Amino acid sequence: MIAGVQILGILFGFGLVYLAFLSFKRHEFTPTEWGFWTLLAATVVLMSLFPQVLDPVVTRLKFARALDLYVILGFMFLISALFYTYTISRRTQVRVEELVRKMAINEAMHKRRK
């Protein structure tokens, strides 16, 4: 792997740890969430430092280089995160619609009684 890409991977990993730590200190993350993001960042740093660890996987899956595997795994992660975020957002939207509907009905019934 090119040294510049390794440096970027290491900086990205440390940046991710820093942001996760800030979110944890602000009580935006639970300890489990902080641990997950820290573990993910540590994996990014280690894979950046020692890309040859994945050579057997790259060879077995017939990729040309480890970077191709990283790109595919990155896209898989992004699509999974996008799907998860969409489902959470959609679920929240349905709950808000139900709540607004109930509040509107209650308000209309309250006005009718007066």
pTM comes to 0.69
Which amino acid, residue 65? R
Per-domain boundaries in the chain: 3-113
pLDDT in tens, 58-114: 999 999 988 899 899 999 999 999 999 999 999 999 999 999 999 999 999 988 887
Give the C-alpha separation, 97 to 112, whole Å. 22
Q: Inform me whether the pLDDT recorded for 1 exceeds 80.
A: no
